[in-house]
Structure 1
Amino acid sequence: MEAATVAPRFLVVDDHALIRHGLALALRMRFPAATVFEAGSLAEASRRVRSVGNLSAVLYDLQMGDTDGLPGVETMLRMLDGVPLIVVSASPDTRVIASCIRAGARGFLPKGSNPEVLDHALPIVLGGGIYAPLPQPVAAVPEPITLTPGAPAGDNPVAQLTERQREVLKLLLQGQSNKEIARSLGVLEGTIKVHLRSVMQRLGVRNRTQLALMAARAGMPI
Structure 2
Amino acid sequence: MIEEARNGLLEHDFAPSSLSEGSIQPIALIEARALIRECLAFCLQKKLGLPVLTYGDVVAWSQDAALAGVIILSGDPRHIDSEQLKLFQELALWEKQIPVILFSDGESEIQIVNRLRSGAKGYVPSDTPLEVVARAIKLVLVGGVFVPADILARPMQSEPETFRRTTKLDFTMREHDVVKALLKGKSNKSIAYELAMSESSVKVHIRNVMRKLQVSNRTEAVIRIAEMERFDPDANGACFA
TM > 0.5: yes
- Corresponding residue number in structure 1 for 2:219: none
Higher relative contact order structure (alpha carbons within 8 Å, sequence separation ≥ 6): 2
If the length of structure 2 is used for normalisation, what is the TM-score? 0.54
User: Aligned partner of 1:146: which letter?
Assistant: G
Aligned length: 156
Gap change, CA 1:145 and 1:63, over 3 Å in 2? farther
- Corresponding residue number in structure 1 for 2:127: 112
Gap change, CA 1:4 and 1:56, over 3 Å in 2? closer
- Corresponding residue number in structure 2 for 1:103: 118
- The runs of 4+ residues in structure 1 deviating greater than 6 Å are none
Contact 1:62 1:72 in 2 (8 A): no
User: Aligned partner of 2:70: which letter?
Assistant: A
**Max Rg structure:** 1
How do residues 1-222 of structure 1 correspond to structure 2 at under 5 angstroms? 5-32=22-49, 34-48=50-64, 50=65, 52=66, 54-63=67-76, 68-80=79-91, 81-135=96-150, 145-146=184-185, 152-156=206-210, 158-159=213-214, 197-198=231-232, 201-202=234-235
Gap change, CA 1:63 and 1:46, over 3 Å in 2? farther
Q: Secondary structure at the match of 1:21?
A: helix
> What's the CA shift for 1:152?
3.7
The Cα RMSD (Å) is 3.3
If the length of structure 1 is used for normalisation, what is the TM-score? 0.58
Structure ranking higher in helix proportion = 2
Equivalent-residue separation in structure 2 for 1:57 and 1:70 (angstroms): 19
Gaps of 5+ in 2: 1-19, 152-182, 189-202, 216-223
> What's the CA shift for 1:125?
0.2
Q: Secondary structure at the match of 2:150?
A: coil
Equivalent-residue separation in structure 1 for 2:85 and 2:236 (angstroms): 28
User: Aligned partner of 1:14: which letter?
Assistant: E
Gap change, CA 1:155 and 1:4, over 3 Å in 2? closer
Gaps of 5+ in 1: 137-143, 161-168, 174-194, 205-222
Q: Secondary structure at the match of 2:22?
A: coil
- Corresponding residue number in structure 2 for 1:176: none
> What's the CA shift for 1:92?
4.4
Contact 1:84 1:106 in 2 (8 A): yes
